[in-house]
């Protein structure tokens, strides 16, 4: 299987993750013009699973290093399989709420609040489990990210001329989603031997197998979570599976593309964790907030018409995110 053997390449993979995780929501924005996000989400989940399968039978099964996908899956212990599955369940609960927050509050608000919070908490959780990287540099970086989150909240407050129930609901959903999302990565990381991908401990899984099991957990839990949400939506009228199967092929493909994009970022991030460590790898990946904010501000014009001073706050928010990400990268170099 393919293994990352340098910190530089691991950082490159994490930056690609950042781009993928910060960009997949554009497909939701495109589909939302005539497609409920609950229906979009089914295609998105299928896209994530599809990429994990493609990755497992290509990069996860080629080369001379490590165990290939099928032998690795066969030897995995029940505890590690259940751990990766649980990671998928937790992620799915968080991501459904997060997708709803995007639909209600927009990318420029949902990403900095939800994913920013997930970055801060996730880095702390993953560093406590695997202390790889200079802690001072790492947490200085996290501190700058926290400042960026606060500034983004101020920008949103300034841009909101009328306080209403819908926007408050979107913010609350983003915060709940971010809290939940900070935990999923730890379960995937625990199911692997992060110190030795080439010759992992018996019962532990390679990154490709862990990502596949994680994706299965997302799909299985979606039959519960998303079915409930379709019947009792957080916004709008209830929908059903009949409406899903009436969707146009192009609309379904947009959702699948979103899942493929997120899945690519997830796979590269997990592969990079062996060299960078889970805290740095996860933290950089969740720098997706910066990418999503750029999409939301400059492409989707989510702050259009905001009062004077809002643009200055947005620039400050982006600057602090960039500085924070820089410190997170340096944490691995210094260590």
Domain presence at residue 238: yes
Task: Please tell me the chain's helix, strand, coil percentages from 3-state DSSP, rounded to the nearest 5.
Answer: 75, 0, 25
> Of residues 105 and 193, which shows the higher confidence score?
193
pLDDT of residue 8: 95
Predicted confidence (pLDDT) per residue in 213-222, tens digit = 999 999 999 9
Domain presence at residue 106: yes
Burial class of 320 by CB neighbour count within 10 A (0 to 12, 13 to 18, 19+):
buried
CB 109 within 8 A of CB 170: yes
Structure tokens that stand for 79 in this block: 């505890």
Domain presence at residue 153: no
Question: Has residue 47 got a pLDDT over 90?
Answer: yes
Q: What are phi and psi of 37, to 5 degrees?
A: -65, -25
Residue 162's pLDDT band (cuts 50, 70, 90):
very low
Question: Has residue 266 got a pLDDT over 70?
Answer: yes
Model-level pTM?
0.90
Domain presence at residue 115: yes
pLDDT of residue 318: 87
Domain presence at residue 309: no
Q: What percent of the chain has pLDDT over 90?
A: 64
Question: Has residue 211 got a pLDDT over 90?
Answer: yes
Whole-number Å distance between alpha carbons of 87 and 66: 23
Best CA proximity match to 75, nearest among 225, 267, 263, 206: 206
Please, which residues bridge with residue 204 across strands?
A: none
Whole-number Å distance between alpha carbons of 115 and 99: 11
Give the chain's length: 335
Q: What is the domain extent for residue 75?
A: 7-128+162-286
| Total domain count, the chain | 1
Best CA proximity match to 81, nearest among 189, 221, 191, 218: 191
CB 71 within 8 A of CB 80: no
């Amino acid at each position: 299987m393919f293994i990352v053997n340098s910190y530089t390449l691991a950082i490159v993979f994490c930056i690609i993750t950042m781009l993928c995780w910060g960009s997949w929501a554009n497909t939701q924005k495109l589909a939302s013009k005539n497609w409920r996000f609950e229906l979009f989400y089914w295609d998105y989940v299928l896209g994530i699973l599809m990429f994990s399968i493609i990755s497992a039978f290509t990069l996860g099964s080629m080369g001379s290093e490590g165990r290939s996908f099928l032998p690795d899956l066969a030897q995995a212990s029940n505890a590690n399989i259940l751990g990766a599955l649980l990671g998928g369940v937790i992620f799915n609960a968080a991501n459904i709420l997060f997708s709803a927050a995007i639909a209600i509050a927009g990318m420029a608000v949902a990403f900095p609040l939800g994913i920013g919070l997930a970055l801060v908490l996730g880095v702390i959780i993953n560093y406590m489990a695997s202390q790889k990287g200079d802690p001072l540099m790492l947490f200085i970086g996290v501190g700058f990210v926290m400042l960026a989150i606060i500034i983004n909240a101020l920008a949103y407050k300034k841009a909101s001329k009328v306080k209403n129930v819908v926007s408050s609901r979107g913010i609350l959903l983003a915060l709940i989603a971010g809290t939940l999302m900070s935990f999923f990565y730890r379960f995937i990381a625990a199911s692997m031997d992060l110190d030795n991908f080439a010759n992992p401990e018996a019962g532990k899984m390679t990154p490709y197998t862990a990502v596949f099991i994680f994706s299965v957990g997302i799909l299985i839990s979606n039959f519960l979570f998303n079915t409930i949400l379709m019947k009792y939506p957080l916004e709008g009228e209830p929908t059903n599976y009949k409406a899903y199967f009436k969707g146009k092929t192009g609309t379904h493909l947009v959702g699948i593309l979103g899942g493929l994009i997120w899945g690519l970022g997830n796979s590269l991030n997990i592969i990079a964790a062996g060299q960078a460590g889970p805290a740095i790898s996860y933290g950089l990946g969740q720098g997706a907030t910066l990418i999503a904010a750029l999409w939301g501000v400059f492409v989707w014009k989510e702050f259009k018409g905001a009062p004077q001073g809002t643009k200055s706050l947005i620039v400050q928010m982006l600057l602090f995110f960039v500085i924070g990400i820089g410190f997170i990268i340096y944490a691995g170099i210094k260590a």
